[in-house]
Amino acid sequence: MKLPFIPGNAPYSDTQRAWLSGFFAGMHSHMLQSASSIEPANARPLFILYGTQTGNSESLAHDAANRAKAHGLVPVVKSMDEVEVDQLVKMDHLLIITSTYGEGAMPDNAEMLWDAVKSASDLQLGNIKYSVLALGDTSYDLFCQAGIDWDNQLAALGAQRIFDRVDCDVDFEEPTAEKSSKETRHYEISIAGSGLNYEAGDALCVVPSNGAELVAAIIKALACNGDEMEPVNGESLSLKTALTDYFEIKLPSKEFIEEIAKRSGDQELNAILASGDKEQLSNYLWGRDILDLLLQFPQVEFSGAEFIALLKPLQHRAYSISSSGKAHPDTVHLTVASVRYDAHGRHHKGVCSTYLADMVDESTDVRVFFTPNNSFRVPQDDSLPMIMVGPGTGIAPFRAFLQEREFRQAQGKNWLFFGDRNASTDFIYRDEIEALQASGLLTRLDLAFSDKRYVRDVY
């Protein structure tokens, strides 16, 4: 059995690379101790179970499996909704990779297995050697909570932890504000000739660039000119290029906030950080971005290198696809609300939504990739009824679902709930929806338009 090794060109962050290297080394050691007399054909499997909402964990699970296979392990990748408790107890070597949904919840495909494991207090898992890789978003208070819960529960049931859990920040969300403008746009991106394909229910991940106006303002606030050469991922880039295409310059990282507090000596911010009150910190940061903090504390100085060291990598944004890959194999459609709002004396823009609205035209090559969501699909049985609840831009995947049902000539009934603020301005895809209703494909449509009346109030 080969000693596990993660090559330098593997597509992992430093944190993920270190964790996977440690995990495989620990697994390698344990399997050598217990399987020295086992022939390769009868080698014990390494079970990799993933919990996912948008596909990140599934993708990482398959990447980890490929690496494990290359180093003599025998990986078996399974979605958590494919596993029963009686199967779990037989998995002697286990890797859990899971994201967290919303405020600390399990992703959809993990709920049933988690509920079964959590309720089985007499379950004995002493034979299992495991580790957990948790994915999350640090903008949520319960960061990586699903992974934390799995780690704690497995340990409580007697399983042996091979390698300490690592919590990875993999995505970000853009802030909104009460005064944000209502601007919803429809985009169609060509994938003709790319070899890419997708299913209704999948997400399209868009890799944006930061706006030139924001980049210039930050460079000015740093008292730099943008031409400074800085080391980024092993190469030398100008500060302007680095801030445009490589780093998150909207949402402040914890490290940046702590450094601003330390260097400024601001009593209010330091008191909030010292208290550990996450709600108070969230209220303080509401509507603020990195530039706001730089302008708020002009006495704080950073070199370009110091500033970059406090930033997170620029991440893709995932959007629900609003078209069916069967009906539109050469294009992928998105329905995106542009984020724009005024706060703290400045006009703010969402990173990706206004990248698409303001920086992309018909000649722009947009960097995208698909994230499958196998737990969110049109029923395979075309005779089954389908109920869809999609307020605002939440209608996007259900537009795709209805296109797919129409393409497949499905006979099942389709019921759509839709709502937003104003029927005259916010009834997106109105002509399409009314045409589907007239054709009989959309069996029933219930609407709720009001600032105070929501889709949940229809019934």
pLDDT 10s digits, 59-101: 788 888 887 877 678 889 998 988 999 899 999 999 999 988 8
- Which homologous superfamily does the CATH classification assign to the domain defined by 184-208+315-371? Translation factors (2.40.30.10)
Q: What superfamily in CATH does domain 212-309 come from?
A: NADPH-cytochrome p450 Reductase; Chain A, domain 3 (1.20.990.10)
Q: Do domains 14-169 and 386-457 have the same CATH topology?
A: yes
For CA atoms 114, 118, 119, 125, the dihedral sign is: positive
> What pLDDT is stored for residue 333 in this prediction?
96
Task: Please answer whether residues 203 and 352 qualify as being in contact, where contact means their C-beta atoms are separated by less than 8 angstroms.
Answer: no
> Tens of pLDDT along 120-176?
878 889 999 999 999 887 656 678 899 999 999 999 999 999 888 888 875 433 333
Give the mean model confidence (pLDDT) for residues 37-64: 73
pLDDT of 16 reads 54
Confidence at residue 22, expressed as pLDDT on a 0 to 100 scale = 56
What's the fold here for domain 14-169?
A: Rossmann fold (3.40.50)
Mean pLDDT calculated for residue range 389-408: 89
The pLDDT value recorded for residue 71 is 67
Q: Are 300 and 260 in contact (CB under 8 A)?
A: yes
**Is residue 40's pLDDT more than 70?**
no
* Integer Cα distance of 336 and 64 in angstroms: 33
Q: Is 78 helix (H, G, I), strand (E, B) or coil?
A: strand
The whole model's pTM is what? 0.63
Mean pLDDT of the chain: 84
Per-state percent for the chain, helix, strand, coil, to nearest 5: 35, 20, 40
- Domain ranges for the chain: 14-169, 184-208+315-371, 212-309, 386-457
pLDDT level of residue 455 (50, 70, 90 thresholds): very low
Q: What is the pLDDT of residues 295-319, one digit of tens each?
A: 999 999 999 999 999 999 999 999 9
Residue whose structure tokens are 């699903």: 146
Burial class from Cβ neighbours inside 10 Å (0-12, 13-18, 19+) for residue 418 reads: buried
Q: Which CATH class is domain 386-457?
A: alpha beta
What are the pLDDT digits (tens) for 235-254?
A: 999 999 999 999 999 999 99
Position 23 scores a pLDDT of 53
Query: Quick one: what percent of the chain has pLDDT higher than 70?
Result: 84
Distance, in Å, from the CA atom of 288 to the CA atom of 361, rounded to the nearest integer, reads 29
Distances (CA, A) of 295 to 218, 277, 317, 345: 9, 24, 27, 10
Give the pLDDT confidence score for residue 100 in this predicted structure. Answer: 86
